[in-house]
Homo-oligomer: A and B are copies of this chain.
Amino acid sequence: MSRAIHRPPSTVHGPSVVLLSGGVDSTTLLHYVKKTLLADDVYALSVMYGQKHSKELEMAKWQAEAVGISEHKIMDISPFAKLISGSTALTDGDVEVPDMSEMTSEDSDQPVTYVPNRNMLFLSIAAAYAESIGVNSLYYGAQAQDDYGYWDCTIDFIQKINDVLSLNRRNAVTVIAPFVEMSKSEVVKIGLELGVDYDHTWTCYRGGDEPCGTCPSCVERERAFARVSI
């Protein structure tokens, strides 16, 4: 039987790999795995995939140091942006990141900020890394995405990724997504209780010095914090 993907095993929390972007969800996850699950050894992996800015990665580094983990690896696959150029606003300078207010109902199944197959790619790299260091638990910060949805953040997606990985004949890695059924505000609530410093996270999809405040990611972040403080 495969382990429940949204509930980590309740007794033993062995060595773990956390997929860490430096955004709100994965940063909260890093603190959660270290402070709540008390995992023996925590390894974080961040991926440079040619996104428009590297602020998220600076935040990931800061958080990894703040939490104090065994290792933080950064994997550079920047040429990926060129490979898929033109198909997403997140890596291509020619495609504008829309304001949240400009998003239409047509965007609800797959917004312009979607990056083709990015999450399967990230989980594949992270599973390879976990396997190579003999770690079985791979933590992934997907949450319920109340404002717009991505197919590769769903429970179904994670379950099917685990179905693939379970075929491994020696060291089958399992993806665990404790937040997959939570709203972003619930994630933030957990993080605040764990003392996460959210000033050192980055959410904005645009490449400016300061968060724009109007892109879908900024708006979603703001709403989540507003809901928590009510």
Chain A contacts to B: CB under 8 angstroms: 45, 73, 75-77, 79-80, 83-88, 109-110, 115-118, 120-121, 124-125, 127-129, 131-133, 151-152, 154, 156-157, 160-161, 163-165, 167-170, 173
Contact B128–A121 (Cβ < 8 Å): yes
Contact B128–A151 (Cβ < 8 Å): no
Known A-B contacts: A116-B128, A157-B164. Give 15 more (CB < 8 A): A77-B79, A84-B131, A85-B132, A87-B133, A88-B132, A109-B170, A117-B124, A117-B127, A117-B128, A120-B124, A120-B164, A124-B124, A151-B168, A151-B169, A157-B167
Question: CA separation between A76 and B131, bound complex, in Å?
Answer: 21
Question: CA separation between A173 and B121, bound complex, in Å?
Answer: 14
Contact A83–B129 (Cβ < 8 Å): yes
Residues of B within 8 A of A73 (CB): 83
Number of copies of this kind of chain in the complex = 2
Which residue in B118, B128, B156 is a CB contact (below 8 Å) of A128?
B118
Instruction: Give the Cβ gap from A155 to chain B, nearest Cβ, in Å.
Output: 11
Residues of B within 8 A of A85 (CB): 132
Which residue in B121, B129, B133, B163 is a CB contact (below 8 Å) of A124?
B121
Which residue in B79, B129, B161 is a CB contact (below 8 Å) of A76?
B79
Residues of B within 8 A of A167 (CB): 151-152, 154, 156-157, 160
Q: Which residue of B lies closest to A73 (CB)?
A: B83
Contact A110–B170 (Cβ < 8 Å): yes
Which residue in B115, B116, B125 is a CB contact (below 8 Å) of A80?
B125
Instruction: Give the Cβ gap from A79 to chain B, nearest Cβ, in Å.
Output: 5
Question: CA separation between A85 and B73, bound complex, in Å?
Answer: 12
Instruction: Give the Cβ gap from A165 to chain B, nearest Cβ, in Å.
Output: 8
Interface centre among A76, A79, A83, A154 (most CB of B within 10 A): A83
Q: Which 4 A-B pairs have the closest CB atoms?
A: A117-B128, A87-B132, A84-B132, A116-B131
Question: CA separation between A107 and B2, bound complex, in Å?
Answer: 26
Residues of B within 8 A of A45 (CB): 83
Residues of B within 8 A of A170 (CB): 109-110
Question: CA separation between A45 and B167, bound complex, in Å?
Answer: 25
